[in-house]
Amino acid sequence: MRYKCLVLDHDDTVVNSTATIHYPCFCEFLKEVRPQAKHYTLEDYFRWNFAPGIIPFFMGEVGLSEEEMDYEYRFWQNYVRSRIPQAFFGMREILARHKALGGLIAVVSHSVKDTIERDYRENGLPMPDAIFGWELPPERRKPEPWALYQIMERFSLQKSDLLMLDDLKPGYDMARAAGVDFAAAGWAYDVPEIESFMRKNCDYYFKTVQDFGRFLEDG
C-alpha cells in the first residue's frame, strides 16, 4: 500500500454533512440569535470554513460573543444528534480495502468523537483506529499538528507512512506543519478559489472519491 495510515477529515471528506446538516444548522442558529444578520450562502460558508476557519468566522465575521459561542456549540450538538449524514459513494469500499490490507485509519476532525463514531457505524464504515475531534482543547485541535504526532507515536509510524485527506485548509496547514503528505478531497462542493489553491499547493488533488480510490489501488 502507498501509506500505512490514512488520516481522514470527517465532514465533506468521508460524509456529506455541511450541505445537509451543518450549514442548515448555522442558518437556524442565526435566525434565533442574529435575526438581522446578513445572509450567508452555502458557498460563503464553505469559503469561510476554508480560511480563516470556523472560529474566526463565528467570532470575527458574524461577531458572536464567548457566551454565544458556548450556546452555538450546544445548539449544534443538539441539531446533529438526530441527523446522520450519508457517506460518499465508494468511501466504504475504499476504507474496507485499506483495512483488509492491514492499513490503519485515523480521523482528525472538527466534529466530536461520539458523532464521528456514530456516523461510521450507521454508514457501515470500518471503525477508525484513532479519533481526534472537537472535544480536544483548542491547542490540540486541527490545524495544530498535535494529533499527527500522536498517531505516529501510538502506532510507531514515520511521517512517510501517513497520508492526510481533507477538504479544507486547516487540514492542509496541519499536514504541512507535521511534514506529512496531504491530499485534497474535492468532491463535496465546487468553489473555484478553493479548488485552485488545493490544486496548486497540495501533494495530491482528487475531484472524485473514485479518483482517490484508484490512487490507493495503484500503490
pLDDT tens sequence across 25-49 = 999 999 999 998 899 999 999 999 9
Residues 126, 131: Cα–Cα separation, whole Å: 13
For 165-219, the pLDDT digits (tens) are 999 999 999 999 999 999 999 999 999 999 999 999 999 999 999 999 999 998 7
What average pLDDT does range 80-98 have in this prediction? 97
Residue with cell 488520516: 7
